[in-house]
C-alpha cells in the first residue's frame, strides 16, 4: 500500500513540474507578441524639457518659438510676437508623446515614395542640453487616413493619424497671442470707459466694485466683472489679414468706446470703432489695427445706468441678523437667534412668515433712477447683516402710481414699481407667532 501511494505522489509531482515548465516557456512569447501588436512610439520626451520649436515648410517662412527666461513661450521668427501659451502647450503635448499608427518599413531605402526626401513639414524640437530631434512629415497615405512620418537619422518610416498631423502643422496666426489686452482680468483694480457722451470710472477694493466717476455710486458687480472679462477675452479676428484695409476702416469708423484698464503692472488702452456693421480695434498692448467680434463693440457701448446697482439692499442671499420695518404707525422688530426669529416683545415668530418679509426686502430693486422727486417717507426699513458689520437704512415715499426710495447717505434715488412695495407691506401684516411646541 505504501509503495502504491508513493508512485501516485511521484506522478502528481511530475505533472505539476510539466505544467510549470510549459507556463514558464510560453510567457515570453505572449509578451513579445503583445509588444509587436502595439503601435511603436516615435517620440517620448518630457514636456518641461522642450524649450524651442522650429516649423519649416516648403514656400513658407520659418516659424520659430522659444521659451523666455520666465518659462513663457514667445514667437522669435518670422517676427517677434507674444505666443498663445495654451496653443503652444497643445503642440508640445502632442510632440512629447508621439505615437505612430503603424510601422511601414524598418529600413526605408527610398524616402521619396513617402514624400520624406523633401518633407512637406519639418518640426525641429530642442530640449534641455541642446538635444535636437527633427520630425519629418511627408505625403498622405493611399487611403488618406494618415501621413508618413519619420525622425531624421532614424531609418524607420511610420504613419501617423491625420489629426495628429493637424495638431503639429501650425502657422504664425495659429500660435500667436491674439489677445488685444494682455492684463489678467482678475488683477484689474481700476478702469475707465469713455465714449462721446460720457466717461465712467470704476475702482475695485478687494472684490467690491465702485463707480468713482461721474460721482460715487454703488456698482453692479456682476455687470462690471462681465465687462472686464469681455475685455480680457477680446481677440483679433485674423480671418482677413489685410492690415491696410482694417486701418482704413478704423480711421473712417464711428467711435464706440475706449477702455483704459489698470492693474499693478500698468495701464493698457483699447479703442473700438464701428464701420458699417463691423467693429475694429486698436490696442496700446500690440501694434496694428484689427477686426474684432461684435460682442466686444457691444460690451463697450454701455451707459452709466447699465453698471449701477439697482438693488436697494446689499445683504444678498445671506440672512440678516436684525430687521426693523416702520409702515406708518405699524412697527416690526425682527431679530435672529440661532435658527429662530423673535419679535421685539420677545415672542418667537413663525419662520416662514419672517422669510416672506426678508425675501420681499431682498427683492426690492429700481427699474430706473431719478435725481429728484422724493417726498415724505411712508416706509422705513433697517437691516443689519454680516455679523453686525453692515447696517443699511432705506426710506421709501409714494410717487404717483409707484414709489421712490433712497439709501442713507446716498444721493441716488431709486424708482420702484408699486407691487413689490405693497407685497412687503402685506408680508409685514401677515407676520405671526410660531406654533406652540407639542408636548
Domain limits, the chain: 41-175, 185-307, 322-429
Q: What is the pLDDT of residue 438?
A: 75
Question: CA neighbours within 13 Å on the CB side: how many for 158?
Answer: 23
Q: How far apart are CA 185 and CA 224, in angstroms?
A: 11
Q: Would residue 71 be called left, alpha or beta, if left means φ above 0 and alpha means ψ between -120 and 50 degrees?
A: left
The CATH number given to 41-175 is 2.60.40
pLDDT at 197: 86
The reported pLDDT for the residue numbered 294 is 94
Q: Is 182 helix (H, G, I), strand (E, B) or coil?
A: coil
Closest CA relative to residue 407, chosen from 376, 381, 368? 381
pTM of the model: 0.78
How far is 242 from 238, CA to CA, in rounded Å? 9
Residue 252 CB contacts under 8 Å (≥ 6 apart), including other chains = 275
The pLDDT value given to residue 129: 87
Instruction: Specify the pLDDT at position 437.
Output: 76
What cell does 370 get? 431719478
What is d(CA 236, CA 282) in angstroms, rounded to the nearest whole number? Answer: 10
Predicted pLDDT at 8: 47
Edge-to-edge strands of the sheet including 199-205?
A: 217-218, 208-213, 199-205, 190-194, 254-263, 266-275, 278-283, 289-292
pLDDT score, position 439: 65
Angle at 353 between CA 348 and CA 358, to 5 degrees: 105
Give me the tens of pLDDT residue by residue for the chain, a chain 439 residues long: 444 554 444 444 454 455 444 444 443 333 333 334 577 899 999 999 999 999 999 889 999 999 999 999 999 999 999 999 999 999 999 999 999 999 999 999 999 999 999 999 999 999 988 999 999 999 999 987 899 999 999 999 999 999 999 999 999 999 999 999 999 999 999 999 999 889 999 999 888 999 999 999 999 999 999 999 999 999 999 887 678 899 999 999 999 999 999 999 999 999 999 999 999 999 999 999 999 999 999 999 999 999 999 999 999 989 999 999 999 999 999 999 999 999 999 999 999 999 999 999 999 999 999 999 999 999 999 999 999 999 999 999 999 999 999 999 998 999 999 999 999 999 999 999 999 877 6
What pairs with residue 91 in β-bridges? none
How far is Cα 86 from Cα 251, in angstroms, rounded to an integer?
Answer: 33
177: phi then psi, degrees, rounded to nearest 5:
-75, 115
Backbone angles phi, psi at 28, to 5 degrees: -60, -35
CA distance 403 to 374: 9
Amino acid at each position: 500500500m505504501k509503495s502504491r501511494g508513493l508512485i501516485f505522489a511521484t506522478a502528481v509531482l511530475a505533472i505539476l513540474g510539466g505544467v510549470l515548465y510549459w507556463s514558464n516557456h510560453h510567457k515570453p512569447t505572449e509578451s513579445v507578441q503583445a509588444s509587436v501588436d502595439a503601435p511603436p512610439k516615435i517620440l517620448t520626451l518630457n514636456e518641461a524639457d522642450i524649450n524651442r520649436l522650429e516649423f519649416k515648410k516648403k514656400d513658407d517662412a520659418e516659424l520659430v518659438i522659444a521659451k523666455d527666461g520666465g518659462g513663457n513661450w514667445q514667437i522669435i521668427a518670422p517676427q517677434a510676437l507674444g505666443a498663445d501659451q495654451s496653443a503652444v502647450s497643445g503642440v508640445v503635448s502632442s510632440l512629447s508623446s508621439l505615437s505612430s499608427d503603424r510601422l511601414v518599413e524598418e529600413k526605408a531605402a527610398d524616402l521619396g515614395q513617402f514624400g520624406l526626401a523633401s518633407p512637406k513639414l519639418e518640426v525641429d524640437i530642442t530640449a534641455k542640453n541642446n538635444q535636437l530631434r527633427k520630425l519629418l512629415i511627408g505625403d498622405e497615405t493611399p487611403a488618406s487616413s494618415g501621413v508618413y512620418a519619420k525622425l531624421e537619422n532614424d531609418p524607420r518610416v511610420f504613419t501617423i493619424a491625420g489629426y495628429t498631423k493637424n495638431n503639429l502643422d501650425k502657422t504664425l496666426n495659429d500660435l500667436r497671442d491674439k489677445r488685444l489686452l494682455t492684463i489678467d482680468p482678475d488683477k484689474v483694480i481700476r478702469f475707465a470707459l469713455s465714449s462721446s457722451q460720457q466717461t465712467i470710472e470704476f475702482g475695485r477694493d478687494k472684490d467690491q466694485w465702485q463707480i468713482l466717476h461721474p460721482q460715487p455710486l454703488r456698482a453692479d458687480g456682476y455687470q462690471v466683472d462681465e465687462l472686464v472679462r469681455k475685455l480680457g477675452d477680446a481677440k483679433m479676428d485674423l480671418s482677413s489679414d489685410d492690415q491696410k484695409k482694417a486701418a482704413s476702416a478704423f480711421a473712417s469708423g464711428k467711435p464706440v468706446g475706449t477702455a483704459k484698464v489698470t492693474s499693478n503692472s500698468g495701464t493698457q488702452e483699447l479703442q473700438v470703432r464701428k464701420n458699417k456693421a463691423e467693429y475694429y480695434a486698436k490696442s496700446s498692448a500690440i501694434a496694428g489695427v484689427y477686426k474684432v467680434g461684435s460682442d466686444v463693440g457691444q460690451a463697450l457701448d454701455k451707459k452709466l445706468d447699465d453698471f449701477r446697482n439697482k438693488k436697494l439692499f446689499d445683504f444678498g442671499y445671506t440672512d440678516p441678523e436684525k430687521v426693523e420695518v416702520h409702515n406708518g404707525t405699524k412697527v416690526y422688530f425682527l431679530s435672529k437667534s440661532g435658527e429662530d426669529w423673535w419679535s421685539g416683545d420677545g415672542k418667537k415668530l413663525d419662520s416662514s412668515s419672517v422669510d416672506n418679509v426678508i425675501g420681499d426686502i431682498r427683492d426690492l430693486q429700481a427699474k430706473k433712477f431719478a435725481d429728484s422727486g422724493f417726498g415724505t417717507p411712508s416706509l422705513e426699513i433697517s437691516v443689519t447683516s454680516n455679523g453686525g458689520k453692515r447696517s443699511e437704512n432705506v426710506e421709501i415715499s409714494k410717487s404717483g402710481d409707484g414709489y421712490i426710495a433712497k439709501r442713507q447717505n446716498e444721493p441716488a434715488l431709486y424708482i420702484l414699481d408699486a407691487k413689490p412695495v405693497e407685497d412687503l407691506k402685506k408680508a409685514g401684516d401677515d407676520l405671526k407667532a410660531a406654533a406652540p411646541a407639542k408636548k
